[in-house]
Each structure stands twice: as structure tokens, then as C-alpha cells.
Amino acid sequence: MSTTVKVYRSGTPHALRLACFAVSILLFCVVAGGSFGLVWLRQGIAQSAQSIKDYERDLGEARRMQAHLQAKIAQEEQPEVLKRRTSATLMVPDGRQYVYVAPSQVLRTRPEVQFRPMDFGFEIAYNPEASAEAVRNAVRPN
């Protein structure tokens, strides 16, 4: 009794050829997929790096503008500038405001203003609410 082995012309068994083909396809897929994956990863890294760079640039821009603004504000807050501005908008002191005046000046320039010694210190000017009662009690305008 003889056994017949089915062979192709090349002499390679069919299953082996199929396996080789499958492995080749797999290898190709792995290589191609890996390559594409690598490219995709690198693109991702590049995009991330670029966006980080953009954020850094924006942050730098914001800091620069902040420094610019700070310098501008500082220029506007200089005593000379403030004096120029306030001189045009100074207001007459109102009734709730306490001021020191030299006696000579009161008599010379503002006869309607009277003054007399008080039994409490100048600190009241800084706390008008708390001392309002004390002022009313202590001071009786003529």
C-alpha cells in the first residue's frame, strides 16, 4: 500500500506555505503598523511640543504686557503726575473732615472758622465714626 502526498509544483507543503504567508502578512502589518505608529507618535510629540511652545510664547507675551502695564501705571502714579491731576479736582473740605490750621492763618484768612482746644487728640480724624459722639459733646460751635 502506498501513501500519496499531495505536493505543489514547488514541492512546499500547502500548510507551510499558508503559514509563511500569514507570518509575512503579520510581519508586514507589524512593521507597517509600527512605522505608522511611530510616525503618529512623533507627530503627536511634535504637536504637543509646538503647543507647549505656543503656550510659552503666550505666557511670555502676557508677562511682557504685564511689565509694560506696570511701568505705565508706575508712571501715572508718580507724585508729580498725581499733583498735576489732583490740583484740578481738589475739593473744599466737607463737614466731616478735621484739619489742623495755624491760629494765625485762621484769623487772617478765614474769620468764619473758629478754633479752640480739644480734650482729645488728633487720632479722632482717623476714626470719625467712633469719635463723632465725642466731637458733638466736646465741641459746641458758637
Partner 1 sequence: MRCAIVSQKRYVLLVLTVSAFFLCLTGRLYYLHVVNAKEALDVAEKTRQRFERISSRRGNITDARGNLMATTRTVMELGVDPEMILPSDLGQGADASGKPYVDKVPILAGLLAMNPDVLRPLLTEKYREDDPSAKVRWRKLVEKIDEPTYEKVMALNIKGVYGNRKFERVYPGDTLASHVLGYVSKEGIPQMGIEHFMDFYLRGQDGWRLSERDGRRRELAQFRSREVDPADGLNVELTIDMALQNIAESELRRVVTDFEPKGATIIITDPKTGFVLALANYPTFDPNHYWDFPIEALKNRAVTDVFEPGSTFKIVASSGAINEHLVRPTDRFDCGITSVTYKGRVLKLPAEAHHLGVLEVNQIVSESSNRGAAQLGMKLGEQRLYNYAAAFGFGTRTGLGSAMESPGTLHQVKDWDGLTITRLPMGHAINATALQVHFAMSVIANHGVLMQPQLIKRVYDADGKTLFSYDPHERRRVITEESSQLISKMLVNVVDPKGTARRAALVGYKVAGKTGTTQKLIDGKYSSTHHVASFVGYLPAEDPRLVISVIIDDAQSKGVAYGGLISAPAFHNVAMQSVQYLGIQPEGQYRNMLAWENKIQ
Contact pattern for partner 1 over residues 20 through 59, marking x by CB under 8 A: ----------------------x--xx-xxx-xx------
Residue pair 8/17 in contact (Cβ under 8 Å)? The answer is yes
Cβ distance 115 to 106 under 8 Å? yes
Stretch that binds partner 1, among 12-20, 22-30, 31-39, 95-103 (CB under 8 A): 95-103
Q: Could you report how far apart the first and last alpha carbons of the chain are, in Å? A: 148
Region near partner 1 per CB under 8 A, out of 3-11, 15-23, 32-40, 62-70: 62-70
Which part of the chain contacts partner 1 (CB under 8 A), choosing from 2-10, 16-24, 26-34, 102-110?
A: 102-110
> Residue 15, Cβ neighbours under 10 Å: how many?
8
Q: According to the binding rule CB under 8 A, does residue 132 interact with partner 1?
A: no
d(CA 138, CA 128) in angstroms, rounded, equals: 14
Please tell me the count of residues contacting partner 1 according to CB under 8 A: 45
Residue 71 amino acid letter: A
In angstroms, the CA 34 to CA 36 distance is 5
State the minimum distance, in angstroms, from the CB of residue 74 to partner 1.
Answer: 4
SS3 100: coil
Contact residues: partner 1, CB under 8 A: 42, 45-46, 48-50, 52-53, 64-65, 67-68, 70-71, 73-75, 77-80, 95, 98-104, 106, 112-122, 135, 139, 141-142
